Amino acid sequence: MRCQRQGPDEKPLFARPRLSGDIREFSGALGDLGTLLPYLLGAIVAVGMPAVGMLFGFGLFLIATGLIFAVPLAVQPMKAVGAAMVALPMTPGAVTASGLLIGLFFLVASLTGLLNWLARLIGPVIASGLQLGLALLLALASLSLLQSAPATGGLTLAALLLCMWRAPRLPAALIVLPLATLLYWTLHGFPAVPSLSLTFALPELHLPSGEAWLDGLLHGAVPQVPLTLANAIVVTAALTRRYYPNELHPVNERKLGISTGLGNLLTAPFGAIPMCHGAGGLAAQYRLGARSGTAPIALGLLLLSCGLLLGEQSALLLQSIPEAVLGALLLLAAFELGRTSNVHQRRGRPLLLLVVTAGVAVAIDLALALLVGLLLERLIGKETPS
């Protein structure tokens, strides 16, 4: 699809359908559940966040993402806030405050040009190092999920890879995940069938007050902003350009920042936890066959329907999915993210910069890895363009 203002030699906005009916889109839509569900369930159990508000927020954000960006762009829980809200734990008001503060920062930074300046500051080698570090972190996180049933998790991962290798046209996730879940239940016992009844529930508006703002700022927004800048903005934009090199699609740092800002400002007051776009989710969905905006729209409709029609009962349904199956999805995302970091193409000083950045990300965190990478790049010099 070429814009009327574009010349005949320019790349088209989209070299493929914005929305596709290929069944692999629906398979790819399940690719990010390994990241989404553990944080979502942790927020419900540990913090007391309303299931309706979270599913409503994720559903709307995913649908808007698919319609606007037309690529299998994920919407994920923010990791630093997710860890803090479970470990401390934070109050629901503090979680809402962190979402509003983070959303305000990214919206203002995007509209003022600050975000573009920060993105230009982070070169492609540092972005690749952060991507490799994130891949390793996802792989380590998957181990805690796989240890509940390593045999089931290993078989799930092997079956997914085999399907994608030998029969790439098949919707691997739609075939493998139900069978893997059935296998897990057969080996470990079927869960008690929850008594569910259809209802119609809407999220309630809750605004934070008092100390919740300070708690949300210190424990949520401050540690999360650099992490989101690195993973959800810089690395996600770079990975999208790598997947769609022949298009001028609207996925860039500024628009990702605006999306993150508006998405959190509009959904946090209704009980959604802070959300962002993630490179790992994009990699997983793309690896499982998604190529258009259909994948996030399909997952968004599923989550939105679950929240609106089941209300708080939806948490019981989500808890029946085995952790080992989610771990296999998360490990698949880690593999794809690491594979596309292009570490094998680097030599000399760029390779050193990439490896150090990835190492700090794994040993400490992504935010510090970003700072160390920038400092090291100033000391050893930038990569010379070829």
Residue whose pair of structure tokens reads 């574009």 in the numeric block:
6
Question: Per-residue confidence of the chain (386 residues) as pLDDT tens digits?
Answer: 655 556 666 777 777 889 999 999 999 999 888 888 888 888 887 788 899 999 999 999 999 999 999 999 999 988 878 878 876 778 999 999 999 999 999 999 999 999 988 888 877 888 888 888 888 888 888 888 898 899 999 999 999 989 888 888 888 889 999 999 999 999 888 877 667 777 888 899 989 988 999 999 988 888 788 888 888 898 899 999 999 988 887 789 999 999 999 999 999 999 999 999 988 899 989 989 999 999 999 999 999 999 999 888 888 888 888 889 988 988 888 888 888 877 777 778 888 888 999 999 888 877 788 888 889 888 886 554 44
pTM of the shown model: 0.84
Give yes or no for a contact between 201 and 313, defined as CB atoms under 8 angstroms apart.
no
Handedness of CA 14, 17, 19, 20 (dihedral sign): negative
* Coil, helix or strand at residue 256: helix
Q: What is the pLDDT of residue 7?
A: 63
Q: What is the pLDDT of residue 6?
A: 60
Nearest to 229 by CA among 80, 43, 93: 80
CA atoms within 13 A on the CB side of 318: 26
User: In sequence order, which residues have a C-beta less than 8 Å from that of residue 363 and are 6 or more positions away?
Assistant: none
Give yes or no for a contact between 56 and 268, defined as CB atoms under 8 angstroms apart.
no
Q: What is the pLDDT of residue 315?
A: 84
10/13 Cα distance (integer angstroms): 9
